[in-house]
Structure 1
Amino acid sequence: MSMPGMMQPPIILLRGKFPFQRSQNLLTSSIDGTDSSQGKGQLLSNIGACLAVVDCVASTLGPRGMDKLIVSNRGEATISNDGATILKLLEIVHPAAKSLVDIARAQDAEVGDGTTSVTLLAGEMLRECKSFIEEGVNPYIVMKGYRKATQLAIEEIKKLAIPIDKSNPEQFRQHLLKCAATSMSSKLIQNDKPFFTNMAVDAVMCLNQEDLNEDYIGVKRVPGGGMQDSLLVKGVAFKKTFSYAGFEQQPKSFTDPSVLCLNVELELKAEKDNAEVRVEDVNEYQKIVDAEWDIIYNKLEAIVKTGAKVVLSKLPIGDLATQYFADRDIFCAGRVAADDMKRVTQALGGSVQSTVSDIDTTKHLGKCGKFEERQIGSERFNIFTECPASKTCTIILRGGAEQFIAEVDRSLHDAIMIVRRTIKHSTIVGGGGAIEMEVSKRLREHSRSIQGKQQLIISAFAKSLEGIPRQLCDNAGFDATDILNKLRMQHAKNDIWAGVDIENEGVGNSVELFIWEPALVKINAIASASEAACLVLSVDETIRNPQSEGQNPGPPIDRQTAQSAMRGRGGMRGGRGRGRRM
């Protein structure tokens, strides 16, 4: 067993565009001049560039994966082991290598986790087919074999997937917790998995179970305190907005208040900002001023008549309105962010009104059980809880450094996405390389039943799947060859869920060890990786216009047009900025 103090992964520093000297030319080749060779040379160059990218993120895979510290040109530091985040921050300029960035982003958007796995799989597929390209095999034959192997692999995963029973809510929740814990096992927050897995599952269960829209899960960061000080608000919470004098006189807590959401500006504007008014008598000017005051007072009176105790607006609420509401025991907040306002209306009911002249108190006002303004760390938060129509929640994250809180946010996002996918699709597979080894075994068996070059290519695809358990072993410091031999032996004995046991440095049953992942993660990862590999293999020449690297002045114009344009400019010399000639 590893000591608790040794659980935290070491950190590798990346500076600039890419730290590895051996791959610098590959990754920045479009700056120094993209490789303009054709055929086999171009293919091998593109494969080498992709493998250099894969080597950068491979060490982040699994529970013992390392973190990367990426420093931008402006000195901004980011600590992460999320594949999509790392590839996004690295300024990869090689045209072919950018395809790996695209599949990592697609995996993150579609599933939320497995971004490192999909990049690693694509690299292993390219590594295995490199020898075929060097020997002169047509890339189309390799692509045809890979597509066939991908189809077979997805079918096998669907056959092996274990359905989750939703009839028992408590048991179903335990299954969701296991899936979330597997996602967090490779993150910075792995030592606090019980705390954050419950938070992730509770957050998803607060949503509408029909669409599970993650946009209704708000995340707020408050530096200071420890991770265990983070909290989940089953409702809406947002930071106190800018306020004017009189705000402190307003009540900060209500029970069963009515809430009015507006998109109306409640502020007096200086006359010079909005209009030019010409008057001949001072009394006429006073009438104009009085009319402006009457307009805003009529708005405020209409709001008070609705009976709302909390008034929120996307636009500013000025000092006059703030004091007016304070005198009548009404809380107000202006400049509320659009996403926060959207979640308020989702949780409390009602709707955002763009006018105060026709407010229906039965339809346009929201309700909540309790409203309060509470101090959390160095920030004050407006919190709505006990909402009758609650389909939203807010996670308030605490921690030391800002970079650390940002990584906790990313880790929690991955876990939330995994829980969502598990609820929607309700099938899981064993992690720890178990599903990859079993699919690899079955693809090898299938390859022996066919003849020709496709047999070798499908076998190479099967070998590329073993890259996941091999990298897990390498990152944990195990003997990868020994562990893989044991895994092959166990799968040959029909031990379907035999995978890498990181804790005991050996082989174990992934399902019994509760190393679970949604089947959709693996299906999407294999499909995306295969598509990216085929895309790279389909490019046999890069055509670059040297002029495109410089400033593009636009299409050339003839001499007559240029002269007429200059005459037009000359004719305007007496215009704005130089006075008008008399």
Structure 2
Amino acid sequence: MNFGGQTPTIVVLKEGTDTSQGRGQIISNINACLAIQDTIRTTLGPLGSDILMVDGEKTTISNDGATILKLLDVVHPAASILVDISRAQDAEVGDGTTSVAILAAEFLRETKPLVEENISTHVIAKSMRTACRLAVNRVKEIAVHLDRSNPEEFKDLLKKCAATAMSSKLVHRNSDFFTEMVVNAVLCLDSADPDENMIGIKKVSGGGIEDSLLVKGVAFKKAFSYAGFEQQPKHFKNPKIVCLNVELELKAEKDNAEVRVDEVTEYQAIVDAEWKIIHDKLVAIEQSGANIVLSKLPIGDLATQFFADRNIFCAGRIPSDDLDRVVKAVGGSIQSTCSDIKPEHLGTCESFEEKQIGADRYNLFEGCPEAKTCTLILRGGAEQFIAEVERSLHDAIMIVKRTMRESNIVAGGGACEMELSKYLREYSRTIAGKPQMIVNAYAKALEVIPRQLCDNAGFDATDLLSRLRMLHSKGEIWAGIDFDSESVGNNLDRYVWEPALVKINALQSATDAACLILSVDETVKSQEAQQQGPPPGGMPGMARGRGRGMPM
């Protein structure tokens, strides 16, 4: 068919579909990431600010990068990548969630002029990955290995790492109190593979922040109780503990069967049979020698009074995670029947006590022989304050856990970033062409961490960074920002320590995110998605990478 020499228009997308492509789209994506950076950059460091976020009636006050980005509900497809890397950093190492997002955005800021000069984004990404590999190798080269031969000294070193993680948190004024608590909590876990999920955290409103306590065992809020509960003993020494997944109520038998009767006497026989079934269960538990009976399912008033008459403590409707931690702490196993409870199925501990904490009563199991779990009970005035304390302690717990496993640390306060920047600048002078500019831009971007620390603290960033460059050029690899003297100093000697893994993971994640964003030069959004708004879980449509499809 002859179209008069003109190429016909072929429609492959739905009418009204918005398409954006080319270098303008890359610049737009970079600007979106810079907007995210501007939002969270003021929270970095020990003198950073907190952000108040309001979602309906719920308010959150935090300076934790992952928490802030999650609550911001970012819908821009490129900017949401920064949210993902911040969450990944939180899951992997627990700290550095703000730093990783700031670094990724700064890498994009420094490469933006290169994109505008029509340098291929593939060349930029390749050189950035080279710079990242060199930086990671340099971190591993300069990292200091902690000596674990002396347990007491190693514990003190762990406290230094925890104190650094808390220095930028709401609890930094109480860091001495909480570092002791955090390190003791992690040391309660299995040293071969510490699992932070085995540290239970309970929040009790009221009291002062230093009324918080560490229970080397398990503590949980008193479960729903029936008549007769107050007659039970509330304190035991070396008790025998049985954990059940059994319902001890009359209605359990009544509701699970249908019986037809011809005479009234037969009905009485059924009632007696029901009583006999539950009575046999209770007698079997009593004969097992257990002093404490815990169950995931309800323990009714009949069973409660039965146990009270025999000086046995019982608690039903225990949350599953709490009961699992009880079993791991006291030993034994969870039983699904009462008919064959043997001595090896029972656990024990040095002491059990029901204790009033604030307005609530808690069951405390302490001195557990299998003590690979513990519980932090946090106190404070406002619920938002306690929630931020919990987030702060989570970061510190993760840092101590990683330090125990890796034992390699670097100095914080911008010292590590300045050393990497100086190292990459020197390397860039040994190569020619476009990679030299890109590696140099990468090195300059690393200085955003110490610069932002100075800006948030109100220091003269230009003056302090110039002095840091001079010190690092003389070989002082641990020179960083000293917040106490508002100057610079050796942060390794001042015990401003961070696990090397935090820096390595942040560099790799930030570089990968920056390269991913640079590789996208077209975004396609369907008209329907634009009208309805983004579906749960992200932005509609598709983003196309240069040379390959890449869903966002």
Fold match by TM threshold 0.5: yes
Percent identity between the two aligned chains? 64
Q: 2:549 corresponds to which residue?
A: none
Aligned to 2:539: none
> For 1:495, what is the secondary structure of its paired residue?
coil
Conserved? CA contact 1:57–1:116, under 8 Å: yes
Unaligned runs of 5+ in 1: 1-32, 553-582
The equivalent position to 1:546 in structure 2, one of 527, 532, 541, is 527
Partner of 1:149: 131
Aligned residue for 2:216? 234
Report the Cα offset of residue 271 of structure 1. Answer: 7.6
Alignment partner, residue 53 of structure 2: 70
Alpha-carbon separation, structure 2, partners of 1:118 and 1:35: 32
State the TM-score, normalizing by the size of structure 2. Answer: 0.92
Tell me the residue number matched to 2:330: 348
Distance 2:17 2:177 in 1: 49
Matched residue SS, 1:504: coil
Aligned residue among 70, 78, 91 for 1:88: 70
Amino acid at match of 1:37: S
Evaluate the alpha carbon distance shift between residue 236 and residue 477 of structure 1 in structure 2; reply closer, same or farther with a 3 A threshold: same
In the other structure, the counterpart of 2:259 is 277
- Give the equivalent residue in structure 2 for 1:214: 196
C-alpha spacing 1:416/1:271, structure 2 compared with 1 (3 Å): closer
CA distance in 2: counterparts of 1:532 and 1:237, whole angstroms: 41
Give the corresponding residue for 1:224. 206
1:263-293 deviations in whole A, cap 9, x for unaligned? 0000111787444433222222222222111
Q: CA deviation at 1:35?
A: 7.1
Return the letter of the residue paired with 1:61. Answer: L
Alignment of 1:458-473 (within 5 A): 458-473=439-454
Q: Does 1:479 align with 2:463?
A: no
Unaligned runs of 5+ in 2: 1-15, 534-552
User: Which runs of structure 2 are paired with 1:172-571 in the superposition (5 Å)?
Assistant: 172-269=154-251, 273-361=255-343, 363-548=344-529
Offset from partner CA, 1:406-461 (integer Å, 9 cap, x none): 00000011001000000000000010000000011111111111111111101111
Counterparts of 1:3-82 in structure 2, within 5 Å, are: 36-72=19-55, 74-82=56-64
Partner secondary structure for residue 543 of structure 1? strand
Give distance in 2, aligned partners of 1:351 and 1:273: 28
Distance (whole Å) between structure 2 residues aligned to residue 503 and residue 472 of structure 1: 13
User: Secondary structure of the equivalent of 1:356?
Assistant: coil
Secondary structure class of the residue paired with 1:312: strand
Distance (Å, rounded) in 1 between the aligned partners of 2:368 and 2:494 = 39
1:127 aligns with 2:106: no
2-side partners of 1:507 and 1:87: how far apart?
A: 31
The one-letter amino acid of 1:178's match is K
Structure 2 CA distance for aligned equivalents of residues 351 and 275 of structure 1: 29
8 Å contact from structure 1 (residues 219, 394) kept in 2: yes
Report Cα offsets for 1:75-111 as digits up to 9, x if no partner. 2000000000000011111011100000000000000
Give 1:36 deviation, angstroms.
3.1
Task: State the SS of the aligned residue for 2:524.
Answer: coil
Matched-pair contact (CA < 8 Å) for 1:35–1:42: no
> How many residue pairs are counted as aligned between the two chains?
518
Q: Match for 1:351: what amino acid? A: S
CA distance in 2, matches of 1:350, 1:549: 57
Supply the AA of the counterpart residue of 1:327.
Answer: D
Residues 20 and 524 in structure 2, CA contact (< 8 A), matched pair in contact too = no
**1:372 and 1:382 in contact (8 A); partners too:** yes
CA distance in 2, matches of 1:548, 1:272: 53
Q: Cα RMSD between the aligned structures?
A: 1.4
Q: Which residue of 2 aligns with 1:578?
A: none
CA contact 2:254–2:274 (8 Å) conserved in 1: no
1:160 CA displacement: 0.4
Name the TM-score, length of structure 1 as normaliser.
Answer: 0.87
- Equivalence for 2:148: 166
Deviations 1:115-135 (A, max 9, x none): 000011001101001011111
2:521 and 2:295 mapped to 1: Cα distance?
57
For the 8 Å contact 1:220–1:395, the answer to whether it is kept is: yes
Contact kept, 8 Å, 2:18 with 2:526, in 1: the verdict is no
**2: CA distance, partners of 1:367 / 1:383:** 13
Give deviations 1:348-402, integer Å, cap 9, x for gaps. Answer: 00010111111111x1100111111000111101001111111111110000000
Confirm or deny: 8 A CA contact 2:295 2:316 kept in the other structure. yes
Distance 1:313-1:119 versus aligned 2 partners, 3 A rule: same
- CA shift, 1:168, in A, is 1.0
Task: Answer whether contact 2:253 2:274 (CA < 8 A) is retained.
Answer: no
2:87 is the alignment partner of 1:105? yes
Query: In the aligned structure 1, how far is the partner of 2:17 from the partner of 2:402?
Result: 40
Q: Any conservation in 2 of the 1:34–1:542 contact (CA below 8 Å)?
A: no
Contact (CA 8 Å) 2:160, 2:495: kept in 1 or not? yes
Task: Find runs of 4+ consecutive structure 1 residues off by over 4 angstroms.
Answer: 270-273, 549-552
Residue 88 of structure 1 aligns to a residue in which SS? helix
CA–CA separation in structure 2 for the residues paired with 1:425 and 1:76? 38
Q: Indicate conservation of the 8 Å contact 2:18/2:524, yes or no.
A: no
Does the residue aligned with 1:542 lie in a helix, a strand or coil? strand
